Amino acid sequence: MTFLNFFISGISLGSIYAIIALGYTMVYGIAKMLNFAHGDVIMVGAYVCFYATSRYELHPFLGVLIAMIVCTLLGIIVERLAYKPLRQAPSLAVLITAIGMSYFLQNTALLLWSSNPKVFPSIIGRGAFRLFDGELSISHITALTIGACLVIMAVLTLFISKTKMGKAMRACSEDKGAAQLMGINVNATISMTFAIGSGLAAVAGALLCSAYPTLMPTTGALPGIKAFTAAVFGGIGSIPGAFLGGLMLGVIEIFAKAYISSQLSDAVVFGVLIVVLLVKPAGLLGKMTQEKV
């Protein structure tokens, strides 16, 4: 039963990683850039949700909705101001700009909300389902996280495969130039991708802080890097890959904490990533592109 408990908390943590990783992987697939500021959007989302629920005493779900709207706008603004002018620039310049943006968001948060950690109230309370005479307990937030992740995955997959915008996104990730020739508004598509990714980051922020309730301006940084690792693990650019990578990373991390050593769990997670990339250089579900001369 302890094994099953660990497994479920691993899946729950993995679900959060998966939601964050979706943002990384979609942006990478379409704009071919590593958006290092994504982790800090999570933090902004969590703060907005925190203030909406604790200061203005709104219903937690309304708080999450407000956080989603704020983060979506933030994502669009960041893209418009910092990344759009660099569409033609070398990728390293875009990477540094993204890192600059990450510092900017962290330090703005530091000024606005101070570095004192805030205790985030769980958006769904601290209760738990008890199964098998209480041997297996699944907290409500765990169940909600896993459910939210599944819903998001299903909706996003439908969106990408069935809608016109989704088709435009697939076309842009395949070949931007050709997509433009077919009458697709590439800039709007990229903005849309950032908007979706950032909106999801707000959800991830609320779920993350409900499970691990300390909220600080640097809260988003490490989950951001982990989720990025998850995206690469599953094959960056691939949406099912982000899902699979996120879940596996979460389970590995919790198991490493439980059975190996809590201090070395990060080392184990990154070690597994390296091994996977050696065997499958484009990640678990990534497409290996043949180079043409």
Partner 1 sequence: MTMRRLINLKRVEARRIYLTYAIVIAAYIICQVMSSTKILSSSMRGMLVPICAYMVMAVSLNLVVGILGELSLGHAGFMSVGAFSGVAAAVLMQNVIPFAPVRLAIAMIIAAVFAAAAGFIIGIPVLRLKGDYLAIVTLAFGEIIKSILNNFYLGVDSQGLQFSMLSDTTRLLPGGKLIIRGPMGISGIQKIATFPAGFILLMIALIIVFNLVNSRSGRAFMAIRDDRIAAESIGLDITKYKMMAFVMSAALAGAAGALFAMNYSTIVANKFDFNTSILILVFVVLGGQGNMLGGIIAAAVLTILPEKLRSFSEYRMLLYAVVLIVMMLATNNAEIKEFLSRLNPFKHKEAD
Residue with tokens 């990640």: 283
Pair 17, 246: CB distance under 8 Å: yes
User: Encoding tokens for residue 153?
Assistant: 């995955």
127 or 271: whose CB is closer to partner 1?
A: 271
Shortest distance, CB of residue 267 to partner 1, whole angstroms? 4
34 or 123: whose CB is closer to partner 1?
A: 34
Pair 206, 66: CB distance under 8 Å: no
Shortest distance, CB of residue 286 to partner 1, whole angstroms? 9
Euclidean distance between CA atoms 252 and 14, whole angstroms:
9
165 or 277: whose CB is closer to partner 1?
A: 277
Shortest distance, CB of residue 59 to partner 1, whole angstroms? 33
Pair 230, 18: CB distance under 8 Å: yes
Following DSSP, what letter does each residue of 42-65 receive, concatenated? Answer: HHHHHHHHHHHHHTS---HHHHHH
Shortest distance, CB of residue 3 to partner 1, whole angstroms? 23
108 or 214: whose CB is closer to partner 1?
A: 108
List of residues contacting partner 1 (CB under 8 A)? 28, 34, 82, 85-86, 88-90, 92-93, 95-97, 99-101, 103-104, 106-108, 110-111, 225, 228-229, 232, 236, 261, 263-264, 266-267, 270-271, 273-274, 277-278, 281-283, 291, 293
Shortest distance, CB of residue 228 to partner 1, whole angstroms? 7
Torsion angles phi and psi, residue 263, rounded to 5? -75, -30
User: How far is residue 241 from each of residues 19, 102, 111, 205, 211, measured CA to CA in Å?
Assistant: 12, 25, 37, 21, 24
Shortest distance, CB of residue 71 to partner 1, whole angstroms? 19
3-state class percentages of the chain: helix first, strand second, coil last, to nearest 5: 75, 5, 25
101 or 208: whose CB is closer to partner 1?
A: 101
168 or 273: whose CB is closer to partner 1?
A: 273
